[in-house]
Each structure stands twice: as C-alpha cells, then as structure tokens.
Amino acid sequence: MRFLGNIIWLLFGGIIAAVGWFVAGLLLCITIIGIPFGVQCMKISAFVLWPFGKEIDVGNFGVGGLLFNIIWLILFGWEFAIAHFITGLIFCITIIGIPFGLQHFKLAKLGLIPFGAKIH
C-alpha cells in the first residue's frame, strides 16, 4: 500500500514539490551563509519524493539547531509550511485525497522545524 501511495503521490504533485524543495536548496547554497539551509532543503526534497511509510520526529536539536530553526522559521520556513498546509487542505476536500493531504501536513511540520528532525 505504501508503494502504491508513493507512486500516486509522484503523479499528483510529489515530483513538483520535490523539485521545488531542491531548487530552493540550490538557491540557498549560492551564499556561504545559506549553505546549511540549502542542505536541509535538499534532504527534505529526497523525503518529499517518497513520504508514505515514513514518520517525522521533531526535537532534540541542541542550541545550534535551535538557532538555525529560529532563523529558518523567520526567513524561509513559514512559506514552506503555509504552502504545504494549504495544499493539504485542498487535498483533504475529497475522501480520496485525505492520505495525500496528511502527507502535506507532515511536510508542513518539517518545513517549520527541519534542523534536528528525524525521519524514519
């Protein structure tokens, strides 16, 4: 079931979302200061390609991770989180779209606090 969900996910926007995260990562890596944020975007883009069957645990990020998460949230994170949240709401309008909407809600959480998040 996870495999089928991931295949349908790819067809209905997963590839576009992953490319969006990856391009954002490339743009952030242009400057030296943006490299840690760009690397996180690229890691998230890999997760966005195949989200079904994976869970996200947020926390245990330490002082450095807290600082990076605060900067991330102020500068970039809220845009990613709002985009995934709105997309998730749109998918949840239909019963068939609910599993995909739930994946977007997971991604919204990851978009808010990526540093220190564990994906398993």
Question: Over its length of 120 residues, how does the chain's per-residue pLDDT go in tens digits?
Answer: 789 999 999 998 899 999 999 999 999 999 999 999 999 999 999 999 999 989 888 877 788 888 999 999 998 889 999 999 999 999 999 999 999 999 999 999 988 999 988 888
Whether the Cβ atoms of residue 77 and residue 68 lie closer than 8 Å to each other:
no
Using alpha carbons, list the distances in angstroms from residue 16 to 73, 74, 111. Answer: 22, 24, 16
pLDDT at res. 95: 93
Q: What is the pTM of this model?
A: 0.88
- Among 16, 30, 116, 34, smallest CA distance to 71 is for 34
Quote the radius of gyration of the chain (alpha carbons, Å): 14
